Each structure stands twice: as structure tokens, then as C-alpha cells.
Amino acid sequence: MGACQVTLVSLDELVCVKHPYRKFVNLFDFKDIEPVLEALDGLSNYWAFEGSVRLFKCLLLQFMEDLSDRELERYLK
């Protein structure tokens, strides 16, 4: 049997240091709004499987990139 090689790649290595999203993350502290958004998780089971923090980040991305709902779905894939 042949030898297998495994290469580990982190997201930090995949995203350019000067990428606009990195700048945004440094400007906007999600920790300030996470408790408020997480409190919404208990109000509805509709989005509980995703988590309101993740959905908020998706909506921010959709706004920043001016994406339709379908475009956002493709963008996230």
C-alpha cells in the first residue's frame, strides 16, 4: 500500500492578509452583539439550527456584497 500524505490548511492561510473582510473583522467586534443575538435563539426554532450570530454575519455579507438571496447562497457555498 502507498504512503498517504495529509496537508493541513487553515483559513488564515487561505485568506489574503489584506482582504477587506479581515479589515472589517478588526473594526467590528462581534462579541458586543453576540449576547443580544444569542438571546434571540430561544425565541424561535425557525433559525435555531443555524444560530442567530451566523445568520447576522450572512446578512452583513449579503449587504456588503450587494447579493440577492440566491446569490448569497451560491456565495456561501
* pLDDT tens track for 9-65: 887 788 888 888 888 888 888 888 888 887 877 666 665 566 788 888 899 999 989
Q: Is the pLDDT of residue 67 over 60?
A: yes
Model confidence pTM above 0.95: no
What is residue 54's predicted lDDT score, i.e. its pLDDT?
A: 85
Q: How confident is the model at residue 74 (pLDDT cuts 50, 70, 90)?
A: very high
What is residue 22's predicted lDDT score, i.e. its pLDDT?
A: 82
Strand residues in 11-51 grouped as ranges (E): none
Burial class of residue 52 (count of CB atoms within 10 Å of its CB; 0-12, 13-18, 19+): buried
